Structure 1
Amino acid sequence: MTRLLVIVNDIESQPGQLTRWMISENVEFDLRIGGISPLPGPDALSAYDGLVMLGGGYMPDETDRAPWLADEAALVRRGLEADLPQFGICLGAQLIAHVTGSDVRAQTGAPEKGYTRIDTTAEAADDPVFSAIRTQTSFVESHVDRIVSLPGEATLLARSEACEFQAFRVGRAWGTQFHPESTRENILRWDGQKLRTLGFDKATLLDEATELGPESERDAKALFTAFLDVVRS
């Protein structure tokens, strides 16, 4: 059976839809919660077919607040060396970027919240994961930090109006600034006052989620299923 290591970096950023899709695809997953359950060492990656890293309110090098991020970075490095398929979301993507020498900056550029238009690049058409989705779609965003540069060996796969680096690939490691695991249910739990301080209205975000959610979920499922196909191969 296909087996994934899934790392939760923040209790507010859980696997969401990914859980249902992994079960429906007969994928076994070992869920570890940073700061609560210890992460396996790099040598233990041989017991897994892939690695999934979720989001969280930290910078990828913020090991003073989140000490497990050092262990997570070690897993990313070993995974890259072993050509192990990896999928990083938000902080997870920033961690892949950080390990490969990218520039990741806190509270940089315009924040993105709620369903946001994503445009894939020409290179996405030949990518084994991103070729599975439409060239224009929407996914949930929730970030104020971002990647501001990628290393030369990275392939840019998607962008948005406010954020150039929405998705990329390095080897067989994919990173997304957006959240394919999230839905309108996540937005319902967001703090309305905090959203207002960032320039967003919660009611508007929820209305947009009602309109855009169904097609977004289809693309999100196609994206993650394509990643699972890579894992199985």
Structure 2
Amino acid sequence: MAVTADDVTGPRLLVVEHQATCPPGPLGAWLAEAGCTLDVVRPYDGDPLPGLDGHDGLLVMGGSMDAFDDDVPWLAPTRALVVDAAERGVPVLGVCLGHQLAALALGGTVGRNPRGQQVGLRDVGRTEAAATDPLLAEVTGPAVFWNQDVVLEPPPGAVELARAATGELQAARWADRVWGLQWHPEADAAILDDWARKDAERHLERGLDQAEVLAAVDAARDGLDRDGHRLAAAFAREAGA
């Protein structure tokens, strides 16, 4: 649902949604609360992918496809948007797939996590650089992960903001104003329930107790929402709110 009004006064964000099961969700609501207008495009549903003109920031959401799969016709243009934003100094936030797309666009490599799928509530492993980062300085708690691909090699000059004890790069500033998060600040109970149904057979084969995973996330919900609010407010400020 693209925004076409000419009288938008706050920052206008271009939001790329890759599939219906991975919407901006609460993250979008928190950004709107912080003063942003979201111009959500859904290329999987036929929306054309616009350029950055008229936008103050770019939000690239998650999805189940691989960041390097150019059989998905809008992924290469999305990566090009990230490059354009980096060159213009327009702030970018990539979430999970968006995190991987941004890394790939700027010269990194992405592939399967050799340790397998990350699922559920995990510590993010903040680095010292996160303490002074404009987006992550106040984001302190664990986060929700649901991914099988990771950034294997960061782009040149990237600043690592979080790395798990098991080695996965969980957050980074890929360029001066381009951020990526491997976790899902937008993943509320409804979104997670949808993903759990999709992965039920795979998790059963692994012996993963989905009920236990979802209960742990639910118990941490207050802290997750607090960090999500803080992240959204910080990105809104970067976009000019």
Q: In the aligned structure 1, how far is the partner of 2:206 from the partner of 2:20?
A: 22
CA–CA distance in structure 1, aligned partners of residues 228 and 164 of structure 2: 16
Gaps of 5+ in 2: 1-9
Q: Cα distance, 1:63 vs. partner?
A: 1.4
Q: Deviation digits for residues 180-233 of structure 1, max 9, x if unmatched?
A: 111233222212323223442111012201211211111121112111111117
Map 1:71-220 → 2, pairs under 5 A? 71-134=77-140, 137-169=141-173, 170-189=175-194, 190-191=196-197, 192-220=200-228
Q: Do the aligned residues in 1 keep the contact of 2:107 with 2:156 (CA within 8 Å)?
A: no
Change (3 A) 1:13 1:163: farther
**What letter is aligned with 1:46?**
D
**Sequence identity percentage:** 31
Q: Which secondary structure does the structure 1 equivalent of 2:220 belong to? A: helix
Specify whether residues 119 and 222 from structure 1 end up closer, same or farther in structure 2 by C-alpha distance, changes over 3 A only: same
Mapped to 2, the partners of 1:63 and 1:110 lie a distance apart of 23
Q: Verify the 8 A CA contact 1:110 1:162 in the aligned structure 2.
A: no
Give the Cα–Cα distance (whole angstroms) in 1 for the partners of residues 193 and 139 of structure 2: 26
Judge conservation of contact 2:122–2:143 (CA < 8 Å) in 1: yes
Matched, 1:53 2:60: yes
TM-score, normalised to structure 1, is 0.92
Aligned to 2:41: 32
Distance 1:38 1:225 in 2: 28
Q: Of the two structures, which has the highest relative contact order with CA contacts closer than 8 Å and spacing of 6 or more?
A: 2
2:184 match: secondary structure? coil
**Stretches of 4+ moved more than 3 A in 1?**
none
Output the CA distance in 1 between the equivalents of 2:36 and 2:155.
32
1:22 pairs with one of 21, 31, 36: 31
> Which amino acid is the alignment partner of residue 101 of structure 1?
G
Inter-partner Cα distance in structure 1 for 2:231 and 2:27: 11
Q: Secondary structure at the match of 1:132?
A: coil
- Count of residue correspondences: 227
One-letter amino acid of the counterpart of residue 193, structure 2: L
State the Cα deviation string for residues 126-176 of structure 1 (Å, max 9, x = none): 111111222xx2111110111111123100001223442100002100000
On the 8 A contact 1:184/1:213 being kept in 2, the answer is: no
Residues 99-108 or 45-54, more deviating: 99-108
The answer for unaligned runs of 5 or more in structure 1 is none
Conserved? CA contact 2:34–2:232, under 8 Å = no
Q: Is the 8 A contact 1:55 1:89 kept in 2?
A: yes
TM-score, with length taken from structure 2: 0.89
Q: Given that residues 35 and 236 in structure 2 are in contact (C-alpha distance below 8 angstroms), is that contact kept between their aligned partners in structure 1?
A: no
Question: RMSD over aligned Cα, in angstroms?
Answer: 1.5
